[in-house]
Structure 1
């Protein structure tokens, strides 16, 4: 099973990722502003459901690769590490801008839920992220890899859903805080870029 050191590293990376406003946060905030807290909360659940489906696909697919060849699984891990490094470099190179809510049509809570699921599920970047991110914390020698994938994915989904629900519940006071910490918008790319690059380098430099 997952050891405490791996779990601690996983949680530390998640906290760093969650602290930087991303598409899920912006979608939840937009739905909250236009449709109220209920719509925002439903969007958060929709994003979480989409992420859970991505987790299941990643767990089944990558576990099948591991059963076929341990070498192939290592290749997938290093490919994922390279992708994370690429994301990190791109985040560093992007011009810093203050996050803004996109203009979208107001939806009912149920529509907000269904659209959030589809948006997250059909986003190829999300699928690539799960395929690159989760394997970095899976150690086949410590038990069934499929269960490790599912546990890590479930932790990701639960924490992410709680986080986005908190965003929906406190969007107005939070917006005032964000305006006061303008440095967050200027440095968000650098912070998330450092997280991705560090995680990718960790895998690239560790022994097999």
Structure 2
């Protein structure tokens, strides 16, 4: 097993593959090559972003080891992944992987790749749906486990980041951002001031009583 993920995956990008992909997508060979060589580190960066998420990593490993994924077929006939007669299970594996890694931010991700590669957004989408199953098939062929895959990704993260689109780290960081919960405002109820009893009547009353006593004594 070659531990150099980028090198191993790029080895599948033969001139014949690039030519067939170019014809299928209606894009130039140079732009197709650029698109795929950006798609590979983009997906690896997506996995790197999930290395602390054991549930997602386990699901990716389950996709790679699924009986529905024809490993040899994916790796030997990659251009078919771009055509209309592509296998449904291959497309589903690619779609699931993209959903696990990028969720509902895929459209924004494709925009980044469009800016970098110069191909149409629909072409970027199809290239990603070809590259994702290719990576899954490679993971299975190389007999990675969840732990060995995480170790390989982490040990090569600088190299992967260098090959990925420059906007990707900021995009992934933004995708991870969780809006802080609104602070619950604690309402403090002010105590109503207790009204002091009205004592203004006491003094006049005492004077009145004293006057009556004086009159009584004098009389």
Q: Same fold (TM over 0.5)?
A: no
Greater helix content? 1
Q: Which has the higher contact order (CA 8 A, sep 6+)?
A: 1
Greater radius of gyration (CA): 2
Normalised by the length of structure 2, the TM-score is: 0.35
Normalised by the length of structure 1, the TM-score is: 0.36
